[in-house]
A = this chain, B = another copy of it.
Amino acid sequence: MQQKATDAAVGIRIRVATRDDIPAVARMLADDPLGAGREDDTDPLPAAYWDAFDAMQDQGGNDLLVAEIDGAVVGCLQLTLIPGLARRGMMRGQIEGVRVDHAFRGRKIGEALVLTAIDRAQTAGAGLVQLTTDNSRADAHRFYERLGFSHSHAGLKLALD
Contact = CB atoms under 8 A, between A and B. Distances in A.
Interface of A: 1-2, 22, 25-26, 29, 35, 38-40, 46, 48-53, 55-56, 58-62, 64, 78, 80, 82-92, 94, 96-97, 118, 121-122, 126-135, 141, 144-145, 147-161
A131 B122 CA distance: 22
A2 B160 contact: yes
B133 A91 contact: no
Copies in the complex: 2
A82 B62 contact: yes
Contact of A155 (B85, B153, B158): B153
Nearest to A60: B59
Given A128-B159, A144-B156, A154-B133, A97 B86 contact: yes
